[in-house]
Amino acid sequence: MDAVERNVKLKLLSRVANKLTKIVAGTAGYSDLSRGDWRQQGCAPFIQDGSKYTCIQDSLIVAARYVGCVFNAKDLHDALDDPQKEAEIYRIVNYARDTLGLAMVCVSHGSEDALSRVKGGIAFATLQLQSGAYIIVLDATLDDNTVERHAVAFLADFQHPAYRNHFGALVDNDPRVLVRFLQPSDRASVAAARNVFDGLFWTAKKVMITSVWKVSLP
């Protein structure tokens, strides 16, 4: 091995070591896990594949299972799905309450301690949530300026023994999208929090949270 090859190898090893150090310290930023890996790690109940018209329903399924609610996902879809359009949020709230026996409360607006009032913006405020299951509704502005509504499940205190330095997960229903497993550094600054959500949609030029709903057993 000549000097050039040796230097290249040393630099590569140094980068790997630095990355590992950051992961252990919780400062490397989020990790994106494949949906297959997520399921193989025993997390299959907390992921749901669907379409753009079922994103809120699928987020409710993930959040409801996370808080311990037992139900039939097919019944939920039969009651709420429309092949031509997205379900209105009030129908999701009513179904969660009346059929699943869950409380589904908007924590982003409507009260003095709402997330939208927190300094730093709603994305930063949302990632300060340290426990519970949530549905995050977002508007994604595409390159042609059309706006698409979407929703993801946020499991604020999710942890897994295989990923000890991660805390919290964002779960999309798009089969192409990886599960975003957060590290403490993702919650540490406004810029880091915004990056977490902006990076979820590779086709969007702007992503904005419009509402956040806490799902819980009463």
pLDDT digits (tens, 9 = 90+) for 104-138: 999 999 998 899 999 999 999 999 999 999 999 99
Name which of 137, 179, 166 is nearest 48 in CA terms.
Answer: 179
C-alpha dist (Å) from residue 26 to 19, 77, 183:
10, 38, 5
pLDDT of residue 161: 78
Phi, psi dihedral angles at 86 (to 5 degrees): -80, 150
CATH number reported for the structural domain that contains residue 109 in this entry: 3.90.70.10
16 in a structural domain:
no
5 found inside a domain:
no
Per-residue pLDDT of the chain (218 residues; tens, 9 = 90+): 565 555 545 445 444 434 434 444 444 478 898 999 999 888 999 999 999 899 999 999 999 999 999 999 999 999 999 988 889 999 999 999 999 999 999 999 999 889 999 999 999 999 999 999 999 999 989 888 888 899 999 999 999 878 878 899 999 999 999 999 999 999 999 999 999 998 888 778 889 999 999 999 98
Looking at the domain assignment, is residue 24 inside a domain?
no
Domain-embedded: residue 3: no
Euclidean distance between CA atoms 109 and 131, whole angstroms: 19
Residue 7 maps to a domain: no
Residue-range definition of the domain harbouring residue 153: 29-216
Interacting residues of 23 by C-beta distance below 8 A, sequence separation 6+: 165, 183
Residue 207 lies in a domain: yes
Residue 2 lies in a domain: no
Tally of structural domains, the chain: 1
Beta bridge partners of 139: 149, 208
Domain assignment present for residue 146? The answer is yes
